[in-house]
Amino acid sequence: MKKILAFAGSNSSTSINHQLVQYAASKMVGHQVKVVRLTDFPLPLFSEDLEREKGYPIELSLLKNEIAAVDALLISVNEHNGTVSAFFKNTMDWLSRLEYKFLIDKKVLLMSTSNGKRGALSALEYTKGVLPRYGGTVIESFAFPSFSENFSVEKKEITNEVLQLGFIDVLQNFAHEIDV
């Protein structure tokens, strides 16, 4: 059994990416999955001046320790104007200042969703290119399109059969890769 940390890159209390990552976590049978919200680790806007004057926020060390304690990550990134949210980028910036390779030896299932037809694909592709810089290995990725049309919030399930099959396939491939 592997330990997995799951979170969304969004700071919205009604985040559809958080709902997607919760759904993915519920399907990772046989593994110990902990779902957190990055908002539970509040970080100021990164600044070299702030870093020099005040050092690293305690919340940053707490988040880094959460990441260090697991074998793998489930991350779902949201998209603002064609890229990742400033909130998620800020979190990654802080983590990389504390320890540049904060994802060393971590396997990642990277997801994204939006209510658009591309499912936040631009944010997903950006993040897929960035995480290896920090030592992470993106094993699988999945852009989930038109969230409100294809996911039942009430039932907490994917309603589009083709997307459901594709998503489960990605989860199974990821589970197999982290077990190796």
- Domain count of the chain? 1
Tens-digit pLDDT profile for residues 119-170: 999 999 999 999 999 999 999 999 999 999 999 999 999 999 999 999 999 9
Do 167 and 141 meet the contact criterion of CB atoms below 8 Å apart? no
Confidence class for position 59, pLDDT limits 50, 70, 90:
very high
pLDDT at 156: 95
Residues in the chain, total: 180
Entry pTM: 0.97
Q: What is the CATH number of the domain that holds 49?
A: 3.40.50.360
- Please give the structure tokens belonging to residue 32: 């110990």
Confidence bin at 56 (pLDDT 50/70/90): very high
CB 25 within 8 A of CB 35: yes
Helix ranges (H only) for 99-160 are 121-130, 147-150
d(CA 179, CA 57): 34
At 125, the amino acid letter reads E
What is the Rg, in whole angstroms, of the alpha carbon atoms belonging to the chain? 16
The pLDDT of residue 180 is: 80
Pairing of strands 157-158, 151-152: antiparallel
| Mean pLDDT, rounded, for 82-95 | 98
User: Range of 33's domain?
Assistant: 3-179
